Structure 1
Amino acid sequence: MATLCKKIELTKAGEIVQKEALNVQGSLQSMTSQITAFTKAEIGELKIAVLPGEITDLVSTLCIHFNRLYPNIKVVIQTTDELEKAVLENQADFGIGFHFHQQDKLQVTKLYEEAFYLISNQHDGRKKIPFPAIFDSPIVLFPNKHQCRKILDRTSEEVGRQLDPAVETSSIEAILNLVRNGVGHSVVSRTLYEFYDTEDLFFQHIEKPTLTRAVYLAMKKNCFVNYPARKYLELLMQEIGKLQFHTEEKEMPTLQNTLS
Protein backbone atom coordinates (compact mmCIF):
# COMPACT_ATOMS: atom_id res chain seq x y z
CA MET A 1 0.00 0.00 0.00
CA ALA A 2 1.44 3.33 -0.98
CA THR A 3 2.06 5.85 1.81
CA LEU A 4 0.74 9.28 1.21
CA CYS A 5 2.87 12.17 2.54
CA LYS A 6 1.04 15.32 3.22
CA LYS A 7 3.04 18.41 2.34
CA ILE A 8 3.24 20.87 5.23
CA GLU A 9 3.62 24.54 4.40
CA LEU A 10 3.97 27.53 6.70
CA THR A 11 1.26 30.06 6.65
CA LYS A 12 2.14 33.66 6.03
CA ALA A 13 1.99 34.30 9.77
CA GLY A 14 4.25 31.28 10.36
CA GLU A 15 6.82 32.58 7.91
CA ILE A 16 6.95 35.87 9.76
CA VAL A 17 7.38 34.07 13.10
CA GLN A 18 10.14 31.86 11.66
CA LYS A 19 12.00 34.83 10.19
CA GLU A 20 11.86 36.83 13.41
CA ALA A 21 12.90 33.79 15.46
CA LEU A 22 16.00 33.37 13.30
CA ASN A 23 16.78 37.08 13.70
CA VAL A 24 16.48 36.79 17.48
CA GLN A 25 18.70 33.70 17.49
CA GLY A 26 21.33 35.53 15.44
CA SER A 27 21.18 38.57 17.74
CA LEU A 28 21.57 36.39 20.84
CA GLN A 29 24.57 34.61 19.32
CA SER A 30 26.15 37.95 18.40
CA MET A 31 25.49 39.39 21.84
CA THR A 32 26.94 36.29 23.52
CA SER A 33 30.06 36.48 21.37
CA GLN A 34 30.57 40.15 22.17
CA ILE A 35 30.10 39.63 25.91
CA THR A 36 32.48 36.67 25.87
CA ALA A 37 35.07 38.65 23.95
CA PHE A 38 34.75 41.59 26.33
CA THR A 39 35.07 39.52 29.49
CA LYS A 40 38.09 37.77 28.04
CA ALA A 41 39.65 41.15 27.27
CA GLU A 42 39.64 40.49 23.53
CA ILE A 43 38.02 43.87 22.96
CA GLY A 44 37.29 46.94 25.02
CA GLU A 45 38.51 50.41 25.89
CA LEU A 46 40.32 51.80 28.92
CA LYS A 47 40.04 55.53 29.62
CA ILE A 48 42.36 57.10 32.20
CA ALA A 49 42.50 60.73 33.34
CA VAL A 50 45.78 61.98 34.81
CA LEU A 51 47.38 65.26 35.79
CA PRO A 52 50.14 66.63 33.57
CA GLY A 53 53.53 65.59 34.91
CA GLU A 54 55.09 62.51 36.42
CA ILE A 55 51.79 60.71 37.01
CA THR A 56 51.41 60.71 33.24
CA ASP A 57 54.81 58.99 33.02
CA LEU A 58 53.77 56.37 35.57
CA VAL A 59 50.49 55.64 33.79
CA SER A 60 52.09 55.59 30.32
CA THR A 61 54.90 53.27 31.40
CA LEU A 62 52.40 50.77 32.81
CA CYS A 63 50.45 50.96 29.55
CA ILE A 64 53.39 49.30 27.78
CA HIS A 65 53.04 46.23 29.99
CA PHE A 66 49.24 46.39 29.78
CA ASN A 67 49.33 46.45 25.97
CA ARG A 68 51.53 43.34 25.88
CA LEU A 69 48.99 41.47 28.01
CA TYR A 70 45.85 42.87 26.36
CA PRO A 71 46.79 44.03 22.83
CA ASN A 72 43.18 44.40 21.66
CA ILE A 73 42.15 46.83 24.38
CA LYS A 74 42.33 50.44 23.28
CA VAL A 75 43.90 52.73 25.90
CA VAL A 76 43.07 56.44 26.00
CA ILE A 77 45.08 58.63 28.39
CA GLN A 78 43.56 62.06 28.96
CA THR A 79 45.97 64.58 30.46
CA THR A 80 43.92 67.23 32.22
CA ASP A 81 43.79 69.48 35.28
CA GLU A 82 40.04 68.73 35.54
CA LEU A 83 40.25 65.15 36.76
CA GLU A 84 37.01 65.23 38.72
CA LYS A 85 35.05 66.49 35.72
CA ALA A 86 36.54 63.81 33.46
CA VAL A 87 35.53 61.03 35.87
CA LEU A 88 32.07 62.37 36.73
CA GLU A 89 31.19 62.97 33.07
CA ASN A 90 32.30 59.43 32.11
CA GLN A 91 35.20 60.69 30.01
CA ALA A 92 37.44 58.42 32.09
CA ASP A 93 37.02 55.12 33.96
CA PHE A 94 39.12 56.57 36.76
CA GLY A 95 41.48 59.43 37.53
CA ILE A 96 44.87 59.48 39.25
CA GLY A 97 46.03 62.67 40.93
CA PHE A 98 46.89 64.47 44.15
CA HIS A 99 43.74 66.31 45.20
CA PHE A 100 40.05 65.42 44.85
CA HIS A 101 37.27 67.42 46.49
CA GLN A 102 33.86 66.05 45.45
CA GLN A 103 33.85 63.25 48.02
CA ASP A 104 30.04 63.01 47.89
CA LYS A 105 30.15 61.89 44.25
CA LEU A 106 33.57 60.23 44.05
CA GLN A 107 35.13 57.19 45.65
CA VAL A 108 38.63 58.44 46.47
CA THR A 109 41.31 55.97 47.55
CA LYS A 110 44.82 56.82 48.66
CA LEU A 111 47.18 54.69 46.55
CA TYR A 112 50.50 55.59 48.15
CA GLU A 113 52.65 58.34 49.57
CA GLU A 114 56.03 59.22 48.12
CA ALA A 115 59.01 61.42 48.85
CA PHE A 116 61.11 63.67 46.62
CA TYR A 117 64.81 63.13 45.99
CA LEU A 118 67.66 65.47 45.17
CA ILE A 119 69.55 63.71 42.37
CA SER A 120 73.06 64.39 41.07
CA ASN A 121 75.94 62.73 39.23
CA GLN A 122 78.20 62.85 42.31
CA HIS A 123 77.71 61.94 45.95
CA ASP A 124 78.97 63.99 48.90
CA GLY A 125 78.43 61.19 51.41
CA ARG A 126 75.23 62.55 52.94
CA LYS A 127 72.05 60.44 52.78
CA LYS A 128 69.88 63.41 53.72
CA ILE A 129 70.16 67.13 53.03
CA PRO A 130 68.18 70.13 54.29
CA PHE A 131 65.87 71.71 51.73
CA PRO A 132 67.84 75.00 51.48
CA ALA A 133 70.85 73.01 50.21
CA ILE A 134 69.19 72.60 46.82
CA PHE A 135 70.02 76.28 46.17
CA ASP A 136 73.79 75.70 46.60
CA SER A 137 74.37 74.45 43.02
CA PRO A 138 72.79 74.93 39.57
CA ILE A 139 69.49 73.10 39.31
CA VAL A 140 67.55 71.56 36.43
CA LEU A 141 63.78 71.50 36.88
CA PHE A 142 60.40 70.97 35.26
CA PRO A 143 58.49 74.14 34.21
CA ASN A 144 56.40 75.83 36.90
CA LYS A 145 53.13 74.34 35.58
CA HIS A 146 54.40 70.88 36.51
CA GLN A 147 52.99 69.39 39.74
CA CYS A 148 56.43 68.59 41.15
CA ARG A 149 57.63 72.13 40.45
CA LYS A 150 54.58 73.63 42.17
CA ILE A 151 55.50 71.81 45.38
CA LEU A 152 59.08 73.06 45.12
CA ASP A 153 57.98 76.65 44.48
CA ARG A 154 55.63 76.64 47.49
CA THR A 155 58.30 75.19 49.77
CA SER A 156 60.88 77.68 48.49
CA GLU A 157 58.57 80.56 49.40
CA GLU A 158 58.13 79.08 52.88
CA VAL A 159 61.90 79.21 53.49
CA GLY A 160 62.21 82.66 51.96
CA ARG A 161 63.98 81.64 48.75
CA GLN A 162 63.14 81.62 45.05
CA LEU A 163 64.10 78.95 42.54
CA ASP A 164 66.12 80.06 39.52
CA PRO A 165 66.72 76.95 37.38
CA ALA A 166 69.70 76.77 35.03
CA VAL A 167 67.50 74.73 32.67
CA GLU A 168 63.77 74.04 32.54
CA THR A 169 62.34 71.17 30.52
CA SER A 170 59.16 69.08 30.61
CA SER A 171 61.09 65.93 29.58
CA ILE A 172 62.22 63.66 32.40
CA GLU A 173 64.69 61.99 30.02
CA ALA A 174 66.24 65.40 29.31
CA ILE A 175 66.45 66.21 33.03
CA LEU A 176 68.22 62.92 33.76
CA ASN A 177 70.67 63.43 30.89
CA LEU A 178 71.45 67.00 31.98
CA VAL A 179 72.10 65.82 35.54
CA ARG A 180 74.15 62.91 34.21
CA ASN A 181 76.34 65.34 32.26
CA GLY A 182 76.92 67.68 35.19
CA VAL A 183 74.77 70.61 34.08
CA GLY A 184 73.17 70.67 37.53
CA HIS A 185 71.29 68.62 40.08
CA SER A 186 67.52 68.18 40.16
CA VAL A 187 64.58 67.31 42.40
CA VAL A 188 62.29 64.50 41.24
CA SER A 189 59.63 62.32 42.79
CA ARG A 190 60.52 58.81 43.81
CA THR A 191 58.06 57.59 41.15
CA LEU A 192 60.22 59.03 38.39
CA TYR A 193 63.49 58.01 39.97
CA GLU A 194 62.36 54.39 40.25
CA PHE A 195 60.74 54.17 36.82
CA TYR A 196 63.69 55.39 34.76
CA ASP A 197 67.30 54.32 34.24
CA THR A 198 69.00 56.11 37.14
CA GLU A 199 71.57 53.52 38.26
CA ASP A 200 74.44 55.90 37.43
CA LEU A 201 72.91 58.75 39.47
CA PHE A 202 72.85 59.41 43.21
CA PHE A 203 69.88 60.46 45.30
CA GLN A 204 69.49 62.11 48.68
CA HIS A 205 66.41 62.47 50.86
CA ILE A 206 65.27 66.05 51.43
CA GLU A 207 64.38 67.19 54.95
CA LYS A 208 63.69 70.34 56.98
CA PRO A 209 61.12 70.46 55.51
CA THR A 210 60.53 66.96 54.17
CA LEU A 211 58.92 66.88 50.74
CA THR A 212 56.21 64.25 50.35
CA ARG A 213 52.86 63.91 48.65
CA ALA A 214 49.99 61.44 48.44
CA VAL A 215 48.69 59.94 45.19
CA TYR A 216 44.97 59.15 44.93
CA LEU A 217 42.67 57.08 42.71
CA ALA A 218 39.19 58.50 42.02
CA MET A 219 36.15 56.75 40.53
CA LYS A 220 32.45 57.51 40.46
CA LYS A 221 30.67 56.13 43.50
CA ASN A 222 28.77 52.87 42.98
CA CYS A 223 29.97 52.57 39.38
CA PHE A 224 30.64 49.32 37.55
CA VAL A 225 34.38 48.75 37.12
CA ASN A 226 34.86 47.17 33.70
CA TYR A 227 37.36 44.46 32.86
CA PRO A 228 40.03 46.72 31.30
CA ALA A 229 39.98 49.07 34.30
CA ARG A 230 40.19 46.21 36.81
CA LYS A 231 43.14 44.61 35.02
CA TYR A 232 45.00 47.91 34.71
CA LEU A 233 44.49 48.70 38.40
CA GLU A 234 45.75 45.22 39.31
CA LEU A 235 48.96 45.97 37.39
CA LEU A 236 49.21 49.35 39.12
CA MET A 237 48.89 47.81 42.58
CA GLN A 238 51.50 45.17 41.72
CA GLU A 239 53.91 47.92 40.66
CA ILE A 240 53.24 49.92 43.81
CA GLY A 241 53.96 46.79 45.83
CA LYS A 242 57.23 46.10 44.00
CA LEU A 243 58.42 49.65 44.59
CA GLN A 244 57.47 49.32 48.28
CA PHE A 245 55.50 52.54 48.31
CA HIS A 246 53.60 53.16 51.51
CA THR A 247 49.90 52.27 51.20
CA GLU A 248 47.90 52.67 54.40
CA GLU A 249 46.23 49.52 55.72
CA LYS A 250 42.87 51.26 56.05
CA GLU A 251 42.87 51.85 52.29
CA MET A 252 43.41 48.18 51.37
CA PRO A 253 39.77 47.01 51.77
CA THR A 254 38.60 49.77 49.42
CA LEU A 255 41.23 48.81 46.83
CA GLN A 256 40.35 45.12 47.11
CA ASN A 257 36.63 45.86 46.69
CA THR A 258 37.40 47.97 43.63
CA LEU A 259 39.31 45.12 41.99
CA SER A 260 36.92 42.29 42.95
Structure 2
Amino acid sequence: MELRHLEYFLMVSKELHFTKAAEELGISQPTLSHQIKILEQEVGYPLFNRVGKKIELTKVGEIVQQEALNVQGSLQSMTSQITAFTKAEIGELKIAVLPGEITDLVSTLCIHFNRLYPNMKVIIQTTDEVEQAVLENQADFGIGFHFDQLDRLQVTKLYEEAFYLISSQNDRRKKVPFETIFDNPIILFPDRHQCRKILDKTSSEMGRQLVPIVETSSIEAILNLVRNGVGHSVVSRTLYEFYDTEDLFFQHIEKPALTRNVYLAMKKNCFVNHSARKYLKLLIQEIERLRFHIEEKEIALLQNALS
Protein backbone atom coordinates (compact mmCIF):
# COMPACT_ATOMS: atom_id res chain seq x y z
CA MET A 1 0.00 0.00 0.00
CA GLU A 2 1.49 3.32 -1.09
CA LEU A 3 0.93 6.73 0.50
CA ARG A 4 -0.33 8.13 -2.77
CA HIS A 5 -3.13 5.55 -2.76
CA LEU A 6 -4.28 6.87 0.61
CA GLU A 7 -3.99 10.44 -0.64
CA TYR A 8 -6.14 9.63 -3.66
CA PHE A 9 -8.63 7.75 -1.50
CA LEU A 10 -8.99 10.63 0.99
CA MET A 11 -9.67 13.07 -1.83
CA VAL A 12 -12.39 10.84 -3.28
CA SER A 13 -13.90 10.30 0.18
CA LYS A 14 -13.96 14.08 0.61
CA GLU A 15 -15.47 14.96 -2.77
CA LEU A 16 -17.56 11.77 -3.20
CA HIS A 17 -17.09 12.31 -6.92
CA PHE A 18 -14.30 10.77 -9.00
CA THR A 19 -14.14 13.51 -11.63
CA LYS A 20 -13.98 16.33 -9.05
CA ALA A 21 -11.40 14.44 -6.99
CA ALA A 22 -9.27 13.85 -10.08
CA GLU A 23 -9.37 17.56 -10.92
CA GLU A 24 -8.27 18.44 -7.38
CA LEU A 25 -5.41 15.94 -7.58
CA GLY A 26 -4.36 17.01 -11.08
CA ILE A 27 -4.68 13.53 -12.59
CA SER A 28 -7.10 11.94 -15.03
CA GLN A 29 -10.30 10.31 -13.85
CA PRO A 30 -9.40 6.86 -15.33
CA THR A 31 -6.03 6.97 -13.54
CA LEU A 32 -7.72 7.81 -10.26
CA SER A 33 -10.28 5.02 -10.68
CA HIS A 34 -7.48 2.54 -11.40
CA GLN A 35 -5.52 3.60 -8.30
CA ILE A 36 -8.62 3.20 -6.11
CA LYS A 37 -9.19 -0.29 -7.54
CA ILE A 38 -5.62 -1.22 -6.62
CA LEU A 39 -6.24 -0.01 -3.06
CA GLU A 40 -9.50 -1.97 -2.88
CA GLN A 41 -7.69 -5.09 -4.03
CA GLU A 42 -5.09 -4.64 -1.31
CA VAL A 43 -7.75 -4.07 1.34
CA GLY A 44 -9.83 -6.96 0.05
CA TYR A 45 -13.15 -5.11 0.13
CA PRO A 46 -14.93 -2.36 -1.82
CA LEU A 47 -14.36 1.10 -0.37
CA PHE A 48 -17.19 2.86 -2.20
CA ASN A 49 -20.74 2.02 -3.13
CA ARG A 50 -21.40 3.25 -6.64
CA VAL A 51 -25.01 4.27 -7.29
CA GLY A 52 -25.24 5.78 -10.76
CA LYS A 53 -23.06 8.89 -10.82
CA LYS A 54 -23.09 9.11 -7.02
CA ILE A 55 -20.78 7.28 -4.63
CA GLU A 56 -20.68 6.75 -0.88
CA LEU A 57 -18.25 5.15 1.54
CA THR A 58 -18.83 1.55 2.54
CA LYS A 59 -18.40 0.56 6.18
CA VAL A 60 -14.92 -0.69 5.33
CA GLY A 61 -14.33 2.58 3.51
CA GLU A 62 -15.20 4.49 6.68
CA ILE A 63 -12.60 2.47 8.63
CA VAL A 64 -9.94 3.09 5.98
CA GLN A 65 -10.84 6.80 5.91
CA GLN A 66 -10.30 7.19 9.67
CA GLU A 67 -6.99 5.33 9.62
CA ALA A 68 -5.82 7.23 6.52
CA LEU A 69 -6.57 10.51 8.33
CA ASN A 70 -4.50 9.25 11.27
CA VAL A 71 -1.61 8.47 8.91
CA GLN A 72 -1.94 11.91 7.33
CA GLY A 73 -1.94 13.51 10.78
CA SER A 74 1.17 11.54 11.78
CA LEU A 75 3.00 12.69 8.65
CA GLN A 76 2.05 16.31 9.35
CA SER A 77 3.20 15.90 12.94
CA MET A 78 6.53 14.48 11.75
CA THR A 79 7.04 17.46 9.45
CA SER A 80 6.17 19.87 12.28
CA GLN A 81 8.64 18.19 14.62
CA ILE A 82 11.45 18.44 12.06
CA THR A 83 10.69 22.13 11.48
CA ALA A 84 10.52 22.84 15.21
CA PHE A 85 13.74 20.91 15.81
CA THR A 86 15.62 23.24 13.49
CA LYS A 87 14.15 26.19 15.47
CA ALA A 88 13.84 28.19 12.31
CA GLU A 89 12.15 31.53 12.94
CA ILE A 90 9.81 30.96 10.00
CA GLY A 91 6.67 28.92 9.75
CA GLU A 92 2.91 29.01 9.95
CA LEU A 93 0.58 29.16 12.93
CA LYS A 94 -3.07 28.17 12.53
CA ILE A 95 -5.55 29.00 15.30
CA ALA A 96 -9.23 28.05 15.41
CA VAL A 97 -11.39 30.28 17.59
CA LEU A 98 -15.07 30.95 18.21
CA PRO A 99 -16.54 34.15 16.79
CA GLY A 100 -16.69 36.97 19.32
CA GLU A 101 -14.48 38.35 22.04
CA ILE A 102 -12.05 35.42 22.08
CA THR A 103 -11.21 36.36 18.50
CA ASP A 104 -10.31 39.84 19.77
CA LEU A 105 -7.99 38.37 22.39
CA VAL A 106 -6.26 36.10 19.86
CA SER A 107 -5.99 38.83 17.21
CA THR A 108 -4.63 41.45 19.62
CA LEU A 109 -1.89 39.08 20.75
CA CYS A 110 -0.88 38.68 17.12
CA ILE A 111 0.44 42.27 17.19
CA HIS A 112 2.99 41.35 19.86
CA PHE A 113 3.67 37.98 18.24
CA ASN A 114 4.39 39.59 14.87
CA ARG A 115 6.87 42.03 16.43
CA LEU A 116 8.79 39.13 17.95
CA TYR A 117 8.51 36.76 14.98
CA PRO A 118 7.85 38.84 11.84
CA ASN A 119 8.52 35.93 9.47
CA MET A 120 5.89 33.66 11.00
CA LYS A 121 2.54 33.62 9.24
CA VAL A 122 -0.58 33.51 11.45
CA ILE A 123 -3.93 32.23 10.20
CA ILE A 124 -6.90 32.81 12.52
CA GLN A 125 -9.88 30.68 11.58
CA THR A 126 -13.09 32.04 13.12
CA THR A 127 -15.53 29.14 13.27
CA ASP A 128 -18.29 27.55 15.34
CA GLU A 129 -16.58 24.19 14.66
CA VAL A 130 -13.37 24.76 16.65
CA GLU A 131 -13.25 21.17 17.86
CA GLN A 132 -13.52 19.77 14.33
CA ALA A 133 -10.89 22.18 12.99
CA VAL A 134 -8.37 20.86 15.54
CA LEU A 135 -9.24 17.19 14.97
CA GLU A 136 -8.95 17.57 11.18
CA ASN A 137 -5.53 19.26 11.50
CA GLN A 138 -6.85 22.55 10.14
CA ALA A 139 -5.55 24.29 13.27
CA ASP A 140 -2.58 23.81 15.60
CA PHE A 141 -4.89 24.51 18.51
CA GLY A 142 -8.33 25.92 19.23
CA ILE A 143 -9.81 28.21 21.87
CA GLY A 144 -13.44 27.92 22.92
CA PHE A 145 -15.89 27.41 25.76
CA HIS A 146 -16.75 23.72 25.51
CA PHE A 147 -15.21 20.61 23.95
CA ASP A 148 -16.72 17.12 23.76
CA GLN A 149 -14.24 14.67 22.25
CA LEU A 150 -11.94 14.46 25.26
CA ASP A 151 -10.72 11.02 24.18
CA ARG A 152 -9.06 12.66 21.15
CA LEU A 153 -8.35 16.14 22.52
CA GLN A 154 -6.06 17.50 25.20
CA VAL A 155 -8.12 20.24 26.83
CA THR A 156 -6.71 22.82 29.27
CA LYS A 157 -8.78 25.36 31.19
CA LEU A 158 -7.10 28.70 30.53
CA TYR A 159 -9.20 30.97 32.71
CA GLU A 160 -12.64 31.83 34.04
CA GLU A 161 -14.11 35.19 33.16
CA ALA A 162 -17.05 37.18 34.41
CA PHE A 163 -19.51 39.42 32.58
CA TYR A 164 -19.95 43.09 33.40
CA LEU A 165 -22.90 45.43 33.12
CA ILE A 166 -21.47 48.59 31.56
CA SER A 167 -23.04 52.06 31.48
CA SER A 168 -22.17 55.73 31.06
CA GLN A 169 -23.22 56.67 34.61
CA ASN A 170 -21.99 55.49 37.99
CA ASP A 171 -24.58 54.52 40.61
CA ARG A 172 -21.72 53.50 42.96
CA ARG A 173 -22.78 49.86 43.23
CA LYS A 174 -19.96 47.40 42.54
CA LYS A 175 -22.37 44.50 42.10
CA VAL A 176 -25.91 44.36 40.72
CA PRO A 177 -28.43 41.50 40.41
CA PHE A 178 -29.09 40.10 36.95
CA GLU A 179 -32.59 41.63 36.99
CA THR A 180 -30.98 45.10 36.77
CA ILE A 181 -30.33 44.37 33.10
CA PHE A 182 -34.06 44.78 32.42
CA ASP A 183 -34.32 48.19 34.12
CA ASN A 184 -32.95 50.30 31.24
CA PRO A 185 -32.66 50.11 27.45
CA ILE A 186 -30.03 47.55 26.53
CA ILE A 187 -27.64 47.22 23.61
CA LEU A 188 -26.59 43.67 22.74
CA PHE A 189 -24.78 41.47 20.28
CA PRO A 190 -26.93 39.41 17.86
CA ASP A 191 -28.36 36.15 19.19
CA ARG A 192 -25.71 34.05 17.40
CA HIS A 193 -22.99 35.65 19.54
CA GLN A 194 -21.66 33.55 22.44
CA CYS A 195 -22.18 36.32 25.01
CA ARG A 196 -25.78 36.83 23.87
CA LYS A 197 -26.52 33.12 24.11
CA ILE A 198 -25.54 33.12 27.79
CA LEU A 199 -27.72 36.18 28.47
CA ASP A 200 -30.71 34.74 26.62
CA LYS A 201 -30.40 31.41 28.43
CA THR A 202 -30.22 33.08 31.86
CA SER A 203 -33.14 35.38 31.04
CA SER A 204 -35.25 32.43 29.87
CA GLU A 205 -34.52 30.54 33.10
CA MET A 206 -35.87 33.57 34.99
CA GLY A 207 -39.00 33.69 32.84
CA ARG A 208 -37.92 36.92 31.13
CA GLN A 209 -36.90 37.90 27.62
CA LEU A 210 -34.25 40.39 26.59
CA VAL A 211 -35.40 42.86 23.93
CA PRO A 212 -32.45 45.07 22.92
CA ILE A 213 -33.03 48.61 21.73
CA VAL A 214 -30.01 48.18 19.45
CA GLU A 215 -28.44 44.94 18.24
CA THR A 216 -25.01 44.99 16.59
CA SER A 217 -22.04 42.69 16.10
CA SER A 218 -19.60 45.62 16.45
CA ILE A 219 -18.08 46.00 19.92
CA GLU A 220 -16.92 49.52 18.99
CA ALA A 221 -20.52 50.44 18.15
CA ILE A 222 -21.79 48.99 21.44
CA LEU A 223 -19.24 50.96 23.46
CA ASN A 224 -20.01 54.19 21.61
CA LEU A 225 -23.77 53.76 22.07
CA VAL A 226 -23.30 53.15 25.80
CA ARG A 227 -20.89 56.08 25.98
CA ASN A 228 -23.55 58.35 24.47
CA GLY A 229 -26.25 57.27 26.90
CA VAL A 230 -28.39 55.25 24.47
CA GLY A 231 -28.51 52.35 26.92
CA HIS A 232 -26.38 49.94 28.90
CA SER A 233 -24.86 46.65 27.80
CA VAL A 234 -23.29 43.41 29.04
CA VAL A 235 -19.79 42.43 27.93
CA SER A 236 -17.25 39.85 28.97
CA ARG A 237 -14.17 40.89 30.88
CA THR A 238 -12.06 39.91 27.86
CA LEU A 239 -13.74 42.60 25.77
CA TYR A 240 -13.71 45.12 28.57
CA GLU A 241 -9.94 44.70 29.00
CA PHE A 242 -9.06 44.89 25.31
CA TYR A 243 -10.94 48.07 24.40
CA ASP A 244 -10.87 51.69 25.52
CA THR A 245 -13.40 51.62 28.36
CA GLU A 246 -11.85 54.01 30.89
CA ASP A 247 -14.75 56.47 30.53
CA LEU A 248 -17.36 53.76 31.18
CA PHE A 249 -18.53 52.23 34.46
CA PHE A 250 -18.77 48.50 35.04
CA GLN A 251 -20.54 46.40 37.62
CA HIS A 252 -20.28 42.71 38.42
CA ILE A 253 -23.47 40.76 37.80
CA GLU A 254 -24.78 38.40 40.48
CA LYS A 255 -27.90 36.45 41.41
CA PRO A 256 -27.06 34.65 39.25
CA ALA A 257 -23.42 35.45 38.56
CA LEU A 258 -22.50 35.27 34.90
CA THR A 259 -19.20 33.49 34.28
CA ARG A 260 -17.77 31.08 31.74
CA ASN A 261 -14.64 29.03 31.29
CA VAL A 262 -12.26 29.48 28.37
CA TYR A 263 -10.44 26.36 27.19
CA LEU A 264 -7.48 25.52 24.98
CA ALA A 265 -7.77 22.35 22.87
CA MET A 266 -5.00 20.49 21.08
CA LYS A 267 -5.00 17.10 19.44
CA LYS A 268 -3.78 14.38 21.80
CA ASN A 269 -0.31 12.94 21.21
CA CYS A 270 0.36 15.57 18.57
CA PHE A 271 3.62 17.50 18.61
CA VAL A 272 3.24 21.24 19.34
CA ASN A 273 5.20 23.08 16.68
CA HIS A 274 7.63 25.93 17.30
CA SER A 275 5.30 28.79 16.35
CA ALA A 276 2.43 27.42 18.45
CA ARG A 277 4.72 27.10 21.47
CA LYS A 278 5.84 30.70 21.16
CA TYR A 279 2.29 32.00 20.75
CA LEU A 280 0.87 30.00 23.67
CA LYS A 281 3.58 31.28 25.98
CA LEU A 282 2.55 34.85 25.07
CA LEU A 283 -1.10 33.93 25.66
CA ILE A 284 -0.36 32.59 29.15
CA GLN A 285 1.65 35.72 29.98
CA GLU A 286 -1.27 37.92 28.87
CA ILE A 287 -3.81 35.94 30.92
CA GLU A 288 -1.60 36.27 33.99
CA ARG A 289 -1.03 39.99 33.36
CA LEU A 290 -4.77 40.62 33.23
CA ARG A 291 -5.20 38.67 36.48
CA PHE A 292 -7.88 36.38 35.13
CA HIS A 293 -8.98 33.59 37.45
CA ILE A 294 -6.81 30.66 36.33
CA GLU A 295 -6.38 27.02 37.30
CA GLU A 296 -2.75 27.20 38.42
CA LYS A 297 -2.11 23.45 38.16
CA GLU A 298 -3.47 23.24 34.62
CA ILE A 299 -1.51 26.30 33.49
CA ALA A 300 1.67 24.91 35.12
CA LEU A 301 1.23 21.60 33.26
CA LEU A 302 0.72 23.47 30.00
CA GLN A 303 3.81 25.58 30.57
CA ASN A 304 5.87 22.42 31.24
CA ALA A 305 4.58 20.89 28.03
CA LEU A 306 5.62 23.99 26.07
CA SER A 307 9.11 24.28 27.59
TM-score (norm 2): 0.72
Q: One-letter code of the match for 1:233?
A: L
Q: Is the 8 A contact 1:129 1:204 kept in 2?
A: yes
Gaps of 5+ in 2: 1-81
Counterpart-to-counterpart distance in 2, 1:90 and 1:258: 19
Moved over 2 A (4+): 34-38
Paired residue for 1:148? 195
User: Which range moves more in the overlay, 245-254 or 194-203?
Assistant: 245-254
Counterpart-to-counterpart distance in 2, 1:82 and 1:204: 32
Q: Is the 8 A contact 2:195 2:236 kept in 1?
A: yes
Deviations 1:154-206 (A, max 9, x none): 00001111000011111111111111111110000000001111000000000
Q: Work out whether 1:138 is the aligned partner of 2:185.
A: yes
Gaps of 5+ in 1: 1-33
Shift of 1:68: 1.3
Paired residue for 1:118? 165
Paired residue for 1:99? 146
Counterpart-to-counterpart distance in 2, 1:99 and 1:252: 17
> Which of 186, 189, 204 lines up with 2:251 in the alignment?
204
What is the 5 A alignment of 1:30-69? 39-41=87-89, 43-69=90-116
| Partner SS, residue 241 of structure 1 | helix
Q: One-letter code of the match for 2:245?
A: T
Shift of 1:64: 1.2
Shift of 1:253: 3.4
| Partner SS, residue 114 of structure 1 | strand
| Partner SS, residue 156 of structure 1 | helix
Paired residue for 1:74? 121
Counterpart-to-counterpart distance in 1, 2:207 and 2:155: 34
Q: Is the 8 A contact 1:230 1:258 kept in 2?
A: no
Q: Work out whether 1:171 is the aligned partner of 2:218.
A: yes
Paired residue for 1:252? 299
> Which of 128, 151, 169 lines up with 2:175 in the alignment?
128
Paired residue for 2:60? none
Counterpart-to-counterpart distance in 2, 1:87 and 1:69: 25
Q: One-letter code of the match for 1:39?
A: K
Counterpart-to-counterpart distance in 2, 1:259 and 1:57: 23
Deviations 1:196-222 (A, max 9, x none): 110000000000000000000000011
Shift of 1:258: 2.9
Q: One-letter code of the match for 2:243?
A: Y
Paired residue for 1:222? 269
Counterpart-to-counterpart distance in 1, 2:303 and 2:104: 25
| Partner SS, residue 281 of structure 2 | helix
Counterpart-to-counterpart distance in 2, 1:37 and 1:214: 33
| Partner SS, residue 87 of structure 1 | helix
Counterpart-to-counterpart distance in 2, 1:79 and 1:223: 22
Q: Is the 8 A contact 2:165 2:234 kept in 1?
A: yes
Q: Is the 8 A contact 1:62 1:235 kept in 2?
A: yes
Deviations 1:15-67 (A, max 9, x none): xxxxxxxxxxxxxxxxxxx95996142x1000000001111111111111111
State the structure with more CA Rg: 1
Deviations 1:93-114 (A, max 9, x none): 0000000010000000000000
Q: Is the 8 A contact 2:281 2:303 kept in 1?
A: no
User: Which range moves more in the overlay, 171-180 or 243-252?
Assistant: 243-252
Paired residue for 1:161? 208
| Partner SS, residue 163 of structure 1 | coil
Counterparts in 2 of 1:244 and 1:40: CA distance versus 1, 3 Å: same
Deviations 1:72-104 (A, max 9, x none): 111100011111110011000000000001000
Q: What root-mean-square deviation, in Å, do the aligned CA atoms of Structure 1 and Structure 2 show?
A: 1.4
Q: Which has the higher helix share?
A: 2
TM-score (norm 1): 0.84
